[in-house]
């Protein structure tokens, strides 16, 4: 008995001593989390899709973005230098330029975690030094406010919350990866100032309704996890609790465009039934609330987040994982919304907004829900977003960006009055620069999402050639290596390296599309349930050299929408594995518009891997039917129906607009016979 007690005690002690505390989110000690993060750097891409993307990220995306943000175009570092008294000038760029700089720094940190390039570390120290000098003596740090002489916390649209959140997150990641505290100290001083401002009995009406683009909730929870100081968790919770408590009306500091559902203040989060408002604001808010729930375990909060996740995924999300159906519209409660969610099943293609950030936030929210519930459906969405509506935001070369990610682009469709963020080909700098660094930091960190640590084992969330060297939650070593040509092929081979002698579980995600997958261990059927949309759990004593082979059928499929989505009635999209395809006018005869393309139901879809095309992708070839459609009249009589058959290729949606100006569509009208 005594022995057993000692044994149990040692597990408890070692369990906490060995838990991985340097994850992208450090949920190692979060009491309500089933899937815990591996440490940043535990998983490295070796070859294949993500290794290639990471290489472009390391060699082009991050350095190129650094030139923009540290130079005069982005002006972000200049803003800090001017605020620090190191340079003459004025604030330039968006009110959220500080936050976007912190995000780019975070991307640099993830790259450093993989390549240990000392120059990155030295550069980061230089920036941190400047940022520290720009910080006010009481901890406040917002260059847009200080340099413009605005009143602190005077207007929610100054984006102070957003900048704060990205500062906290970036500083925590810096501390985890480097062990240094120079950035963390700035963040702590800053958060203490935020705490003193908001955690008061007589909070003003303006501050009660202050939350706007609330990344500070995620940032504060991470700061709590880093410092163990509960005040940051309490403050994070306050920002959730304040929503929906005040009368919603326009005020001097909140115009009618930025109130109510638009900023998730119409309904308290715990009572909310549908995703409302600005899609980035909403999904950052939900992601932050999921971080709080991971700590508090509050049922009402988890229930609300379950409802909201279901509502997004089942009724408001595009087939690419994208969110935010419109640039301008109304919410369910008839508040004006901007770049946001509208009615369920209302899914326009041409005018879809789908900001890259919103799509990424969808995957960040899902990663947190994966932690809480440990169900594969959350990783399915992370993957769907990554391969489609996230990667679509950046060119193959890594220097040109999309802000909005509609599912159809047609040059003559309509004149867009808001072309500042909606453009029909990628551009090298977006004035509103929130999306590019968000995407680049995501590409840089995705190896940290690939695995999770579970009760007695490890879960494989994402597939790609990689090596994992980590510790299970009991402290024992675990090494896995993965070899695969995923997502172009469905075979994944995982070889066990170092591991403990006792039995433990390997969980392999069987994606929701992968019906008929097979799982072998050392050449024999694994003898476990291999069901699409679940984790297949292999619980056994593993030894070095054991081989797991997962074979997912990778055929091209035609997809259709729920009949309630009027915008895609009698249209289909092509999907192969997790990758959604599109037709691009570049692959059509000259003078053919994208609206002329129809897909016969019986067309044979043939996949072919092309290593030197668009960075190495599988294309799908098929016969389409072309029919000139009159674009001039609003309505016209059907006459002279002439079909031309044409063999074309479909390219992955994320890779469109890499071959010059073109038109594109994901959904195509289908010819059933
Ligand atoms: Zn954005």
133/189 Cα distance (integer angstroms): 13
Q: Are 267 and 244 contacting, i.e. CB atoms less than 8 angstroms apart?
A: yes
> How many angstroms separate the alpha carbon of residue 357 from the centre of ligand 1?
4
Q: Indicate whether 8 pLDDT > 50.
A: no
Full DSSP string of 402-457: -S---SEE-TTS---TTTTT--SS-BS--SS-SHHHHHHHHHHHGGGGSEEEETTE
Task: Provide the terminal-to-terminal Cα distance of the chain, rounded to the nearest Å.
Answer: 74
Q: Confidence band (pLDDT; 50, 70, 90) for 368? A: very high
Q: Indicate whether 420 pLDDT > 70.
A: no
Q: Indicate whether 421 pLDDT > 90.
A: no
> How many angstroms separate the alpha carbon of residue 624 from the centre of ligand 1?
35
Q: Confidence band (pLDDT; 50, 70, 90) for 18? A: low
What's the gap between Cα 544 and its chain centre? 34
119-123, 281-285, 639-643: lowest mean pLDDT where? 639-643
> How many angstroms separate the alpha carbon of residue 167 from the centre of ligand 1?
17
Tokens of 105: 């720094």
Q: Confidence band (pLDDT; 50, 70, 90) for 7? A: very low
Strand runs labelled E in 53-132: none
Q: Indicate whether 239 pLDDT > 90.
A: yes
Q: Indicate whether 83 pLDDT > 90.
A: yes
> How many angstroms separate the alpha carbon of residue 29 from the centre of ligand 1?
31
C-alpha distances (whole Å) from 248 to each of 134, 254, 263, 274 are 35, 10, 11, 18
Q: Are 242 and 235 contacting, i.e. CB atoms less than 8 angstroms apart?
A: no
> How many angstroms separate the alpha carbon of residue 59 from the centre of ligand 1?
23
> How many angstroms separate the alpha carbon of residue 349 from the centre of ligand 1?
19
At 172, which helix (H) or strand (E)? Answer: helix 160-178
pLDDT at 257: 86
CB atoms under 10 Å from CB of 483, counted, come to 18
Listed in sequence order, the residues at least 6 apart from 61 whose beta carbon sits closer than 8 Å to its beta carbon are 107, 394, 398, 399, 440, 443
Q: Indicate whether 324 pLDDT > 60.
A: yes
Q: Confidence band (pLDDT; 50, 70, 90) for 89? A: very high
- Mean pLDDT across the chain: 95
Tokens of 442: 């995501």
Q: Indicate whether 359 pLDDT > 60.
A: yes
Q: Indicate whether 234 pLDDT > 60.
A: yes
Over residues 362-382, the mean pLDDT reads 98
Q: Indicate whether 389 pLDDT > 90.
A: yes
> How many angstroms separate the alpha carbon of residue 79 from the centre of ligand 1?
20
> How many angstroms separate the alpha carbon of residue 332 from the centre of ligand 1?
23
Nearest to 352 by CA among 323, 332, 314: 323
> How many angstroms separate the alpha carbon of residue 215 from the centre of ligand 1?
13
pLDDT at 298: 98
H-helix segments, 179-297: 182-198, 205-208, 215-227, 230-241, 279-296
> How many angstroms separate the alpha carbon of residue 254 from the centre of ligand 1?
21
> How many angstroms separate the alpha carbon of residue 258 from the centre of ligand 1?
17
> How many angstroms separate the alpha carbon of residue 389 from the centre of ligand 1?
12
pLDDT at 15: 42
pLDDT at 419: 59
302-316, 365-379, 420-434: lowest mean pLDDT where? 420-434
> How many angstroms separate the alpha carbon of residue 283 from the centre of ligand 1?
12
Q: Indicate whether 10 pLDDT > 50.
A: no
The pLDDT tens digits for 143-199 are 999 999 999 999 999 999 999 999 999 999 999 999 999 999 999 999 999 999 999
Buried b (16+ CB within 10 A) or exposed e, 494-523: bbbbebbeeebbbbbbbbbbbeebebebee
197-201, 210-214, 242-246, 343-347: lowest mean pLDDT where? 210-214
Q: Confidence band (pLDDT; 50, 70, 90) for 20? A: confident
Over residues 235-256, the mean pLDDT reads 92
Check the CA dihedral 45-51-56-61 and report its sign.
negative
> How many angstroms separate the alpha carbon of residue 352 from the centre of ligand 1?
15
> How many angstroms separate the alpha carbon of residue 374 from the centre of ligand 1?
28
- Percentage of the chain beyond pLDDT 70 is 96
β-pairing verdict for 597-600 and 668-671 = parallel
> How many angstroms separate the alpha carbon of residue 358 from the centre of ligand 1?
7
Over residues 345-363, the mean pLDDT reads 97
């Amino acid at each position: 008995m005594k022995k057993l007690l000692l044994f149990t005690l040692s597990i408890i002690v070692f369990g906490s001593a060995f838990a991985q505390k340097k994850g992208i989110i450090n949920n190692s000690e979060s009491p309500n989390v089933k899937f815990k993060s591996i440490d940043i750097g535990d998983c490295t891409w070796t070859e294949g899709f993500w290794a290639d993307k990471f290489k472009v990220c390391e060699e082009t995306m991050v350095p190129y973005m650094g030139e923009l943000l540290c130079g005069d175009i982005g002006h972000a570092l200049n803003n800090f230098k001017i605020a620090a008294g190191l340079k003459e000038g004025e604030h330039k760029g968006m009110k959220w330029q500080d936050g976007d700089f912190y995000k780019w720094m975070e991307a640099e940190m993830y790259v450093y975690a993989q390549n240990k390039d000392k120059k990155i570390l030295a550069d980061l120290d230089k920036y941190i030094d400047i940022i520290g000098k720009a910080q006010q003596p009481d901890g406040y740090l917002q260059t847009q406010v200080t340099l413009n002489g605005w009143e602190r916390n005077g207007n929610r649209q100054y984006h102070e919350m957003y900048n704060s959140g990205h500062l906290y997150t970036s500083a925590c990641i810096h501390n985890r990866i480097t062990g240094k505290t120079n950035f963390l100290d700035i963040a702590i001083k800053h958060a203490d100032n935020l705490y003193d401002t908001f955690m008061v009995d007589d909070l003003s009406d303006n501050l009660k309704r202050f939350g706007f683009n609330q990344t500070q909730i995620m940032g504060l929870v991470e700061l709590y996890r880093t410092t163990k100081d509960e005040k940051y968790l309490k403050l994070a919770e306050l920002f959730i609790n304040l929503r929906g408590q005040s009368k919603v009306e326009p005020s001097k500091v909140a115009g009618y465009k930025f109130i109510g559902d638009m900023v998730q203040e119409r309904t308290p989060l715990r009572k909310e039934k549908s995703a409302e408002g600005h899609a980035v604001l909403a999904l950052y808010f939900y992601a932050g609330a999921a971080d709080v729930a991971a700590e508090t375990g509050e049922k009402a909060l988890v229930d609300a987040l379950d409802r909201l996740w279901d509502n997004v995924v089942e009724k408001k999300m595009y087939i690419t994982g994208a969110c935010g159906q419109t640039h301008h519209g109304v919410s369910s409660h008839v508040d004006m919304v901007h770049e946001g969610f509208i009615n369920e099943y209302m899914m326009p293609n041409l005018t879809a907004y789908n900001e890259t950030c919103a799509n990424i936030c969808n995957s960040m929210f899902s990663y947190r829900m994966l932690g809480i519930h440990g169900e594969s459906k959350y990783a399915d969405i992370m993957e769907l977003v990554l391969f489609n509506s996230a990667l679509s935001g950046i060119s193959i070369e890594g220097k040109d960006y999309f802000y909005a990610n509609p599912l159809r682009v047609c040059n003559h469709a309509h004149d867009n009055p808001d072309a500042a963020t909606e453009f029909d080909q990628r551009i090298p700098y977006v004035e509103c620069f929130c999306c590019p660094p968000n995407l680049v930091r995501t590409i840089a960190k995705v190896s940290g999402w690939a695995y999770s640590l579970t009760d007695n084992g490890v879960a494989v969330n994402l597939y790609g050639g990689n090596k994992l060297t980590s510790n299970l939650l009991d402290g024992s070593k675990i090494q896995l290596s993965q070899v695969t040509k995923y997502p172009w092929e469905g075979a994944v081979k995982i070889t066990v390296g170092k591991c403990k002698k006792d039995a433990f579980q390997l969980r392999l995600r069987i994606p929701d599309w992968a019906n008929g997958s097979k799982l072998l261990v050392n050449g024999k059927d694994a003898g476990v349930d291999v069901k699409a949309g679940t984790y297949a759990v292999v619980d056994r004593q593993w030894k070095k050299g054991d081989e797991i082979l997962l074979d997912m059928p990778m055929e091209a499929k035609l997809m259709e929408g729920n009949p309630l989505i009027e915008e895609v009635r009698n249209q289909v999209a092509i999907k192969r594995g997790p990758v959604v395809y599109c037709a691009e006018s570049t692959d059509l005869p000259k003078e053919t518009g994208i609206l002329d393309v129809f897909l016969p139901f019986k067309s044979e879809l043939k996949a072919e891997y092309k290593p030197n095309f668009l960075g190495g992708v599988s294309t799908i070839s098929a016969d389409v039917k072309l029919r000139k459609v009159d674009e001039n009249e609003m309505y016209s009589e059907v006459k002279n129906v002439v079909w031309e058959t044409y063999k074309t290729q479909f390219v992955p949606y994320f890779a469109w607009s890499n071959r010059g100006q073109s038109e594109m569509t994901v959904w195509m009208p289908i010819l059933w016979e």
